[in-house]
Structure 1
Amino acid sequence: MAFDYRVTLLFHVKRHREGNCEMNESRTHPLITIIVPIYRVEQYLDRCVKSLVNQTYTKIEILLVDDGSPDSCPMLCEEWGKRDTRIKVLHKENGGLSDARNYGIVHAKGEYVSFVDSDDYVSTNYIKYLYGLIEKTGADTSCCILKTVTSGDEKFVQVEKEHLRVLTGKEACADLYNGNYAQMVVSCGKLYRTSIVRKNMYPKGRLHEDEATTYKFLYDSKKVVVSNCALYAYFQNVKSITHTRSKKNEQDISIAYYERVAYFRERKEWDLYAKTVNFYTGVVMARGDSDSALEVKTLLKKYRMDYHVFLRTKLRMYYFIMKTDASTKR
């Protein structure tokens, strides 16, 4: 009888301790919001949401933002909302990707936020790993590698050796021009402090919203931790609007770079300013058409007397204009 009493006592002590551990974990681990803008992705949506509800970090809210999708997406969202209480479905009139993300940001309750596009999917430890990096380094933003996929549910492969880089916000912006543009410029594959994101909302009605916004998130972060682990599957649909050359596409990316130049100039970040002018010029010249020649002439007129801009950038502009003018006269 005494033995039974001791066993019972130990059982209750163990339960009490486990309960305290759970409460401590709930208290110390913050709520994290995952924002998923949704429009005409009925064939991919279940794959995306399934990868989110299976996260090993469970203290999450998943905001499914239905951007007035005309297909079965609204119904699929509601079905997921009934299956998992962490999912909140938000319906709104169509306003584009930026507007849908902004709508999610306004409704986010998490201390940190991550953006996942509705045709993409993530590793089960995506949130846990990114938050772990923030906890370990004291960063405001953490980044992983985006793995490009074109079809199917491709598996995530663990890297042989983890490599981390802890950067200042300025260093992270400079990293845009150090061969890491794709990883650093995309909004997805990152975990941000929500207060930083709320200061820098997305430009409604424009393409290339990441080029227009992500650098602000990085700049406003005291620390950014960058990992070589691939935890985000970035689906590339060759028929999507961002992969189709159009006047709207070219105009919006030029506006994004022009604004970025002005942003760094305003803050007297001269190195970032000069690198952005150089990058912007290169993007315009790569188009190689008559419109790009006119744009480069405008840029040269604006920056030729600016001693902050690299001399090599100005020489590239001169050479491009001379080459284009010569080919036009033939």
Structure 2
Amino acid sequence: MPKVSIIIPVYNAEKALRKCIDSILNQEYKDFELLLMDDGSKDSSPSIIDEYAEKDARVRAVHKKNSGVSDTRNMAIDMATGAYLQFLDADDWITPDATKLFVRAIEAADADMVIADFYRVVGEHLSQKGDIDTDRILSRKDYADYMLSNPADYYYGVIWNKFYKKELLDRYKLRMDAELSYCEDFIFNMEYLLHAERIAVVKSPIYYYVKTEGSLVSQNMNLTKIVNMKTNVMQYYDRFYRNVFDEEEYDLRRAQIAGFLIDFAKDDFVIPGTPISKKLGTETVSVQYHPDECDTVFSGNYYRDKLLEYYLKPISIQNDLKAEDLRILLYMHQTANPVTEMMVVDYTKLPLITVVTSLQKLKSRYFIKKYPSCPG
């Protein structure tokens, strides 16, 4: 049986598919199987993968009804016979030494997972992306601390710059959540990490990620679905750190954890600044968007304000914080430069005594490390 199973979900990828497949078949490391999973494509992708399967015995072409990328990956994981799993997206490609470096790293370190740098490709330009600045073997806690510094980065969230043990996936029944269409990779990685003791780092870029535009809002996704998906990710992220660290260790990291939750909650939505917006926590208003309503900058900001309020509510409940506490924390997290109490008052429009009381509470509970200076 092959040592590595390489998995590619394919859906209407005819333009980039050959480049992706060729980069795999030209790998310096040869002991692998390639699972090309056609997820009900309507273009010439099915015939392309059949062509490759006929020419190379390592290639398996699978055709199935469309069910989404997560379900397709899960099917491939079930079919895989390799000891290790490697994933690609059909519009990307890898360096000739990618699989070799993955195998070498995981076996030399007796690791449970490998993470590697990658190239981000935008048009004719590319830039190297990576975040972990050490070659040493990381423990689960080490990795979690590195992730705290930049959790929303693709480096930690995606699966295509990582290398997994099939045995761990099967033993703990780890699979992608087919109900999610947003951040499913990130949740899968966090679930896997709860069972990974040793993580190896490859600082050489091994993957070419082709940047495509898009967000939950630009995809015209149902607002209720956006709220549910984002809330699920935020709750899982918080539970992940509560599982990795004991209570005292978690408390010391509260500020960074809350920073991610707030960043993630407001992602794709502007911070409200129009007269129609209200301070968070003064009331709970349901978000009801009417397609025939006049679309203006004011109405757009209003609905985004309500969504931000909805996202921050579970953070408030989980961390026993009031609406004004989160408002202040959001401002301080966004501001790189030192701030004063009066700057916080000016931004939040809260009374000075409320700001002072909230700041003292946030500092005592490790949400902020340095108390804002008094004016003058």
SS at match of 1:230: coil
For 1:45 and 1:33, how far apart are their aligned partners in 2? 18
SS at match of 1:165: coil
Q: Which residue of 2 aligns with 1:174?
A: 145
Kept after mapping to 1: 8 A contact 2:6/2:33: yes
Q: What's the offset of the Cα at 1:324? A: 9.4
Q: Which residue of 2 aligns with 1:196?
A: 168
SS at match of 1:147: strand
Aligned residues: percent identity?
22
1:42/1:257 Cα in 2 relative to 1: closer, same or farther (>3 Å)?
same
Kept after mapping to 1: 8 A contact 2:328/2:348: no
Q: What's the offset of the Cα at 1:71? A: 1.4
Q: Which residue of 2 aligns with 1:281?
A: 262
The two structures, once aligned, show a CA RMSD in angstroms of 3.4
Q: What's the offset of the Cα at 1:318? A: 9.4
Aligned residue runs from structure 1 range 27-176, under 5 A: 31-151=3-123, 164-176=135-147
SS at match of 1:164: coil
For 1:75 and 1:42, how far apart are their aligned partners in 2? 9
1:324/1:214 Cα in 2 relative to 1: closer, same or farther (>3 Å)?
farther
TM-score after normalising by structure 2: 0.68
1:245/1:195 Cα in 2 relative to 1: closer, same or farther (>3 Å)?
farther
For 2:25 and 2:215, how far apart are their aligned partners in 1? 26
Kept after mapping to 2: 8 A contact 1:173/1:219: no
More helix by percentage = 1
Moved more, 132-141 or 143-152: 143-152
- Is the counterpart of residue 238 in structure 1 residue 238 in structure 2? no
TM-score after normalising by structure 1: 0.76
For 1:34 and 1:89, how far apart are their aligned partners in 2? 12
Q: Which residue of 2 aligns with 1:205?
A: 179
**Structure 1, unaligned runs of 5 or more:** 1-25, 307-311
For 1:191 and 1:245, how far apart are their aligned partners in 2? 33
User: How many residue pairs are counted as aligned between the two chains?
Assistant: 290
Q: What's the offset of the Cα at 1:323? A: 8.9
Q: Which residue of 2 aligns with 1:6?
A: none
* Structure showing greater relative contact order (alpha-carbon pairs closer than 8 Å, 6 or more residues apart): 1
Question: Which of the residues 291, 309, 312 maps onto 1:293?
Answer: 309
Q: Deviations over 1:143-191 (max 9, x none)?
A: 1112111346x8999x9xx952310123212221123643122111111
Q: Which residue of 2 aligns with 1:302?
A: 318
**Letter matched to residue 100 of structure 1:** T
For 2:263 and 2:126, how far apart are their aligned partners in 1? 35
**Structure 2, unaligned runs of 5 or more:** 272-303, 334-344, 351-376
SS at match of 2:202: strand
For 1:194 and 1:205, how far apart are their aligned partners in 2? 22
Kept after mapping to 2: 8 A contact 1:186/1:211: yes
Q: Deviations over 1:61-109 (max 9, x none)?
A: 0001111112111111111101110011112211111111111100010
**Letter matched to residue 204 of structure 1:** A
Aligned residue runs from structure 1 range 6-45, under 5 A: 31-45=3-17
